[in-house]
Amino acid sequence: MSIRIGSGSAWWGDRISPAKNNADRGCLDYLCFETMAEATVSAAQVRKRKDPTFPGYDTWLDDRMKAVLPGCIKQGTKIISNQGWINPNGAAERIVYWLQTLGFKGVKVAAVNGSLITDQVLQLTNSILETGEPTHSLTGKIVSAEAYLGAEPIVQALNQGAHIVVTGRVADPSLFAAPMMHEFGWQMDDFAHLGLANGIGHLMECGAQVTGGYFADPGFKDVPNPWDLAFPIAEVDENGSAIITKLSGTGGVVNDMTVKEQLLYEVHDPANYITPDVVVDFSTTRIEEVSKDRVLVSGISGKPRTPTLKVSIGCEEGFIGEDMFFYAGEGALKRAKLAEMILRERFKIVNLKAEELRIDYLGLNAIHGDMTPKTSQEPYEIAVRVAARTLNREEAMKIGREVDGMAVSGVGMTGKRVPHQDRTREIIGVWSSLVDRNKINSSINFYES
């Protein structure tokens, strides 16, 4: 027995056409969407505070569902998605709306809740992993807190007949592991098979990264037609091996290099990759190219899961003020340095209260800073980026105001943007903690078109 699982997205802003291709032509059993980065839920909470009409689920939910529902329903493909963000119930109801609008009746949609623990996080957690300080030190700054759920509630929903399952925060690999567990009957204490399932899920969770995305390096690692990258498909056998592949006729490539890069992506210890379901051991993995764009992955193993779940805590961290201006031609760098000196003196005059101030020369030192190798080459053009982190919006606004002054009170030949855009933004810091998994209770609500 084998099943075909396709990727529908790797993050909130991912392209939609590759998901539609998988839905229409992939002959899939499951199509899985991963749309949540660490800060997504916190950003959604911030938007909800500013705009009470914001529904709280993925802002591209409508576009994604309109694109893939016709193909998925026609092919009998089930959908698993964490597009519910802070409102899985609302997302499920919206999906039902599109099912009804498109004429698909009797489709069962499940909403998985339980990841949001904002109101209880200070009682359920002890310390901040990054600093060791007590989580109570975040009192008054917390915007949201969400625990990473695993595959179990998704499997429960599938076992109860759900055709579409939409969740809030669920660990990325778990979205893909759930259909394997459901179809093959792998239990929550079968850590050998769960290691395989979550390992394969990890290969799939970042979408095009395993089909040539975030991979190309001209002359070293070339990718065919990178403007038309496909999202991957996993052909998973009940013994736990999988063929990683993509649709024929699409851009990109699947080979041992793309698979190995994704295998180690965001993995601190390959022998102990912690997920809510299992601790995955990638050190036993075997990777073999079997034909063009078909890579066999097997041997991934697993260890018993931890007694805790990770919690991401989004906190108010102040504001950033940011703007840019430009110089070109002979002497561009000298003019940029004079402009920096002027601005630093101006910030003293206006009494800028900044927790951090950066003035970078894009194309010269903005990435590596003081570690940038020295060069005798005079740059032809310089973009000067000015940014400050402040405790309030009023201080952050001083950055744009002073950069505006450079237009007529600065250095000769300053290229300045017209300041129509908002040059301040709120910062949401993300901290981590651990919670006893037995204190997190998930729930499932069902809807039907």
Question: Across the beta sheet with 279-281, what order do the strands follow?
Answer: 273-274, 279-281, 301-303
Domain 317-430 - what CATH class? alpha beta
Is 80 exceeded by the pLDDT of residue 2?
Answer: yes
85 near 39, Cβ under 8 Å? Answer: no
Structure tokens at 98: 């599109």
Q: What average pLDDT does the segment 126-137 reach? A: 96
Is 80 exceeded by the pLDDT of residue 236?
Answer: yes
CA distance linking residue 380 with residue 139, whole number of Å: 49
Measured in residues, the chain has a length of 449
Q: Residue 115's pLDDT is what?
A: 96
Mean pLDDT lowest among 64-73, 303-312, 406-415:
406-415
Structure confidence by residue, pLDDT tens digits, 172-214 = 999 999 999 999 999 999 999 999 999 999 999 999 999 999 9
CA distance linking residue 271 with residue 277, whole number of Å: 15
Is 80 exceeded by the pLDDT of residue 358?
Answer: yes
Where do the structural domains in the chain lie, given as residue ranges? 2-114+149-306, 317-430
CA distance linking residue 435 with residue 118, whole number of Å: 13
Q: Residue 346's pLDDT is what?
A: 98
Q: What average pLDDT does the segment 273-280 reach? A: 98
Rounded to 5°, the CA angle 436-438-443 comes to 120
Is 90 exceeded by the pLDDT of residue 136?
Answer: yes
Structure tokens at 53: 């009409």
Burial classification of residue 221, based on how many CB atoms lie within 10 Å of its CB (0-12 exposed, 13-18 middle, 19 or more buried): middle
Q: Residue 378's pLDDT is what?
A: 87
Q: Residue 49's pLDDT is what?
A: 81
Q: What average pLDDT does the segment 364-385 reach? A: 88
Q: How far apart are the first and last CA of the chain?
A: 30
**Higher pLDDT residue, 416 or 246?**
246
- Give the phi and the psi of residue 25 in degrees, each rounded to 5: -120, 0
Mean pLDDT score across all residues of the chain: 95
Q: Residue 417's pLDDT is what?
A: 80
Structure confidence by residue, pLDDT tens digits, 329-346 = 999 999 999 999 999 999
> In the block, which residue shows the tokens 């606004």?
397
33 near 19, Cβ under 8 Å? Answer: yes
What's the chain's Rg over C-alpha atoms? Answer: 24
Q: Residue 304's pLDDT is what?
A: 98
Percent of the chain with pLDDT over 90: 89
Q: If phi over 0 gives left and psi between -120 and 50 gives alpha, with beta otherwise, what is residue 35? A: alpha
Is 80 exceeded by the pLDDT of residue 396?
Answer: yes
Is 80 exceeded by the pLDDT of residue 419?
Answer: no
Q: Residue 372's pLDDT is what?
A: 85
Structure confidence by residue, pLDDT tens digits, 3-21 = 999 999 999 999 999 999 9
403 confidence band (pLDDT: 50, 70, 90) = very high
Closest-CA residue to 224 (of 248, 256, 260, 200): 248
Structure confidence by residue, pLDDT tens digits, 287-320 = 999 999 999 999 999 999 999 999 999 999 999 9
pTM of the model: 0.93
Q: What average pLDDT does the segment 89-115 reach? A: 98
Q: What average pLDDT does the segment 46-61 reach? A: 90
Q: Residue 42's pLDDT is what?
A: 73
Is 80 exceeded by the pLDDT of residue 168?
Answer: yes
Closest-CA residue to 59 (of 71, 72, 47, 77): 47
